[in-house]
Structure 1
Amino acid sequence: MKLLIDENLSPLLAQYAEQRRGYIAEAVHNIGFKRTSDEEIFAYAITHQQVVVTINYKDFLYLAQRLDPHPGVIVIREAGLSRSQQWERLDAALEYLEDLGTDLINQILEVKGIAEFRILQIPPL
């Protein structure tokens, strides 16, 4: 699984995912996207087969319902977290997915706390 870290999360999460978990990861900040629309970010992620990691649930749910297939979205449902707290949530989510042995194609993984997860199947509208 490849990851694209949205602009509303610390770009260091990409580095952590690579160094600590062995994922291929990019941060929106590091690929020249600044004030880029969610549509452009999601299109980039689809083109590069990346799961978007964001806190922007509503907009990415809307996009996920309209673009089929897509690699998936991980949504951290807590705002105002420190970088280390963001990493704790993402790290736990990645471990959860590894334990399930599944990908996120056409799905959203909601992360509501350090160990509270919900996978949503996102059928196209």
Structure 2
Amino acid sequence: MRLILDEMISPLAAEKLRVKGHDVVAATEVGLRQMADAELFAWAVRERRAVVTVNYQDFRPLHETCLSRGEGHFGQLLIPRRQSLAIRAMGRLVARLDAFLATHTAVDALESAEHWLD
């Protein structure tokens, strides 16, 4: 599975996940800073990446619109707002994403689906 972390998540998380062998980029690393959510979602579809975000109030409607049009995407990993994204908590987020990726290896493992990362 390939991931893109939205810009609310530190690129440090992407770096740490790449060290563990995962195909992960951060929006801020690939020139997508301040891109509209719909554009980031479309980029993720083109690049066959699932979106990792805490901004579920904007990304969930994009998922629903995509499905209502009969289109697919490569998934969304939603992080509850109660989860800290502070640098000091980055290790927990990286560990949770690493564990998820270890059990969801296919590029389409979350095809057209959402998953809450608890």
TM-score range with shorter-chain normalisation?
Answer: 0.7 to 0.9
Which SS does the other structure have where 1:88 is aligned?
helix
Give the whole-Å Cα distance in 1 for the aligned partners of 2:37 and 2:89.
23
> Where in structure 1 do 4 or more consecutive aligned residues deviate above 4 Å?
none
In the superposition, the TM-score normalised over structure 2's length comes to: 0.81
Identical-residue share of aligned pairs (%): 27
In the superposition, the TM-score normalised over structure 1's length comes to: 0.77
User: Which structure exhibits the higher relative contact order, with contacts defined as CA atoms closer than 8 Å and separated by 6 or more residues?
Assistant: 2
- Kindly indicate whether the alpha-carbon contact (under 8 Å) linking 2:74 and 2:112 is maintained by their aligned counterparts in 1: yes
The alignment of Structure 1 onto Structure 2 pairs a total of residues equal to: 111
Superposed counterparts of 1:76-115, under 5 Å: 76-78=79-81, 80-96=84-100, 98-99=102-103, 103-111=109-117
Superposed counterparts of 1:69-80, under 5 Å: 69-78=72-81, 80=84
Which SS does the other structure have where 1:26 is aligned?
strand
- CA drift of 1:84 comes to 4.3
Higher strand share: 1
Segments of structure 2 that go 5 or more residues without pairing to the other structure are: none
CA RMSD of aligned residues (A): 2.0
